[in-house]
Amino acid sequence: MPGGGRTFRRKCSRFWEVWPLPPLVDEIFHFVYVDGIYLARNVVVLIAYSGKHVLGWYLARSENSKAWAALLSRIAPPDVVVTDGGSGFEKARKRIWPNTRVQRCTFHAFCQVRRYTTSRPKLQAGAELLDIARALLRVEKQKDAELWAEMYLSWCERWNEFLSEQTLDEETGKWRWTHEPLVKARSSLNSLANKNVLFTYLDKQLTSEGKIPATTNPIEGGVNAQLRAMLRDHRGLPTLRRIKAVFWWCYMHIECPLPASEILEVMPTDDDIEAEYQAISDEERRGASIPRWGDAVVWSEFHRSDPWRHDWD
């Protein structure tokens, strides 16, 4: 762009005051990706993605059910949601999208097992389980899924006695699993298998309307990677501006963003947000100042419905 850096920053200064907010999405998609990107320790932006356009985003301190519910409530429930299993998502999904099927990202399921076994397991049981988890990435048909389930159940039966071994902890005096990482890895796969979320993308009723992805790779590469590259190119921004930069990127990648002139008229500014926050804070303070039991005069202490006098000691 022509001009110096100071001129450019002066022309863009008005847009830094604006908070571009996500639109309401009433179109029903066959599947939707959801994920969160952390900008700081206690700052995460939850994002919904259709595979082509950003559908919504929400700023929160952590991935919790309330934050996920706020994101999902502005988007029409899709047939399937593809997720990496972030904390609090399932609780929000049951409440906001109760009829939406879940596809757990198979790559994240594999990574979770690898986190417990490490990439170079020392135990034979760990090496076999890592290979079984890696085989998840090669399941393409229903028959492959059945063979994988048989292979996993066979591993569980073969190593059940080995994983049942316990050791007495001398410090706490309590018994614990001798091979605790492997037990946790098995529990993670058992949980996904019992919830029936590993092979939703192979369901014939769902695939008849279109192919369903097995991983969240499109949102990782199409959104998260682009956001990280943008923040890396503009490193040094304060946290607030990092948040606004993500908001702006997401808004400009929705299906129909407004022109810049309309954005300045419609979207709230820092002053609008501050005024709204102040109004909410005042209301909460007024609610907190209401006298509680024993804090102030109670009407019934000086007004009786019976005819007897109560002013005598």
Encode pLDDT of 67-114 as tens digits.
999 999 999 999 999 999 878 899 999 999 999 999 999 999 999 999
Report, as an integer, the average pLDDT of 21-35.
93
- Over the range 212-231, which residues count as b (16 or more CB within 10 Å of their CB) and which as e? bbbbbebbbebbbeebeeeb
- Over the range 234-252, which residues count as b (16 or more CB within 10 Å of their CB) and which as e? eeeeeeeebbbbbbbbbbe
pTM: 0.83
As a whole number of angstroms, the distance between CA 75 and CA 176 comes to 45
pLDDT at position 296: 45
Per the model's pLDDT, the better-predicted residue between 287 and 72 turns out to be 72
pLDDT at position 298: 46
Average pLDDT, the chain: 87
- What are the sequence ranges of the domains in the chain? 21-105+215-252, 106-206
pLDDT at position 305: 57
Q: Domain 21-105+215-252 maps to which CATH number in 3.40.50.880, 3.30.420.10, 2.60.40.60, 2.60.40.650?
A: 3.30.420.10
Q: Model confidence over 169-182: pLDDT tens digits?
A: 888 888 999 999 99
Lowest mean pLDDT among 44-48, 136-140, 157-161, 286-290: 286-290
pLDDT at position 294: 44
pLDDT at position 192: 92
